[in-house]
Amino acid sequence: MIFSLLFSGTNALYNEEFVGTCNAPTTLDFQKLKFIPWQIDFESPWLKVSNPVSPEVNEFYLDEGIRDDMCWGMRYSIMNNVKFHSRNLGGKFDLYIPKEIPDWMSVRCTSEEKEPCTSFEIQYCCPSTFDNDEELEKAERPFPVFNYEQQGSCSDGALQFENDGSFIDIDDDSEFLSHWFEATNPSSPEVNGLFFNPGTRRDICRGIRLKNMGYDFSSYLFGGEKNVTSATPDWMTVRCGDPNCHTFEAKYCCPALEELDSSIVRPDIKLHDSIKKLVDTITNAPEIKRGRFKNRMTQKLKTIKDVLLVDFWNRAKDCFAEFSAPKNLLESGTTEDEIRNSFTEIRSWIGQFNSRCDDKPSKYAEKMIQKMTKEEKKTLKRIRK
């Protein structure tokens, strides 16, 4: 295994797909999801995690503290209707390599040997929250190697953030200097390419503004320790981002930040379990001969689950309630009984959690209940063939 070499001092690549463990029933959707409580775990969208200068996962994203801070940022964005800037946090800026080090970044060498330098730290000139970034000229392959020091520029009198627990008076419309933080590319002696992304700079600078207001973060970027303990952490799933597997995407399993009363039956988990039970019943049904139908139903039901949960969480802030099980279930003696019961459970769930908060009729809930009834009839028709 390539990964077996990773922690023995070699420069092996993080270039394999792997599947982590995530039982979170909800997947975050920046475009549709408007509410997700701190007590709820969730799965992130697919994130761009490539090392821009080599065909591998950037080690930066394998750090558990980075995972924790990015998951926090996703929650903060949804809960506070705040827009971050990098694509991975719902913004518009994708990763790319510029032709030159931008003038808003300073670089210094931190290795004992300066020629050649093998490790680097960087410092940002953090922008006003009202400014827009100028487009940087993008480099073409072969990319330039940024392995030298540079003194960036910032406003005269820009305040210095020290990351030592002290606070400075930062205005939203003022530039300031970030602290210095480690920024070496994991597989070559140069600055890690992700830090050239204007969206990355703005998001780290937003994190500094929040830390300066008293928020706590976990990663080494904000004073924590580096925490890369595995090349295949179970809280992460990685897939190839192109047919040649030169780029990579990943999903994080984002943990809950507060404990929920264990006596409460979480509605999202109830729906997740009901859909899973139905999928398993259809998949294992000997009466259904065609595998294509089973695969199609599996994908369709998972998509329906995601849609229902987005609607549920967006309503939950105002009208959260505990699940009440339907009382008209059959005694499951056959595959048909099990399928009927599962669809009945799901329709009951929709009636409780996709309805309006004011008890008036819900067109959305009615539409989704009708949809599930239609899918039930199609499935039972396959059983009876």
- List the chain pLDDT tens, one digit each, 385 residues: 233 233 333 455 788 999 999 999 889 999 899 888 888 899 999 999 999 888 999 999 999 999 999 999 999 998 888 889 999 999 999 888 999 999 999 999 999 988 899 999 999 999 999 888 888 899 998 899 999 999 999 999 999 999 888 899 998 999 999 999 999 998 899 999 999 999 999 999 999 999 999 999 999 999 899 999 999 999 999 999 999 999 999 999 999 988 877 777 788 999 999 999 999 999 999 888 878 899 999 999 999 999 999 999 988 877 766 555 555 555 667 899 999 999 999 999 999 999 988 878 899 999 999 999 999 999 998 887 6
Angle between helices 335-353 and 291-319 (to 10 degrees): 30
pLDDT at position 200? 95
Q: Which residues of 38-75 are buried (b: 16+ CB within 10 A; e: fewer)?
A: eebbbbbbebbbbbbbbbbbbbbbbbbbbbbbbbbbbb
Nearest partner of 184 among 146, 216, 151, 212, judged by Cα: 146
Peptide bond into 326 cis (omega under 30): no
Rg (CA), the chain: 25
Q: What is the distance between the alpha carbons of residues 188 and 180, in angstroms, rounded to a whole number?
A: 20
> Chain centroid to CA 241: how far?
16
Q: What is the distance between the alpha carbons of residues 214 and 207, in angstroms, rounded to a whole number?
A: 11
What's the pTM value of the predicted model, to 2 decimals?
0.84
Q: What is the distance between the alpha carbons of residues 381 and 197, in angstroms, rounded to a whole number?
A: 54
pLDDT at position 12? 59
Q: What is the distance between the alpha carbons of residues 357 and 352, in angstroms, rounded to a whole number?
A: 10
Angle between helices 267-284 and 335-353 (to 10 degrees): 160
Q: What is the distance between the alpha carbons of residues 38 and 155, in angstroms, rounded to a whole number?
A: 38
Q: What is the distance between the alpha carbons of residues 322 and 343, in angstroms, rounded to a whole number?
A: 19
Output the CA torsion 57→61→64→68 (10° steps).
-150
Cα three-residue angle 52-10-60, rounded to 5 degrees: 35
| Structural domain spans, the chain | 10-260, 267-384
Q: Check: CB of residue 168 under 8 Å from CB of residue 178.
A: no
HSE-up (13 A, CA, CB side) for residue 336:
9
Nearest partner of 197 among 65, 108, 91, 109, judged by Cα: 91
Q: Measured on CA atoms in the order 28, 211, 160, 227, is the torsion positive or negative? A: negative
Which pair of tokens denotes residue 42? Answer: 């969730």
pLDDT at position 141? 87
DSSP secondary structure code for residue 10 in this structure: -
Q: What is the distance between the alpha carbons of residues 180 and 124, in angstroms, rounded to a whole number?
A: 8
What are the CB-based long-range contacts (under 8 Å, 24+) for 160-165? 161/126, 161/208, 161/212, 163/208, 163/211, 163/222, 163/223
Q: What is the distance between the alpha carbons of residues 294 and 216, in angstroms, rounded to a whole number?
A: 46
- Cβ neighbours of 298 (radius 10 Å): 16
Q: What is the distance between the alpha carbons of residues 139 and 98, in angstroms, rounded to a whole number?
A: 5
Which pair of tokens denotes residue 205? Answer: 């600078």
Q: Check: CB of residue 38 under 8 Å from CB of residue 257.
A: yes
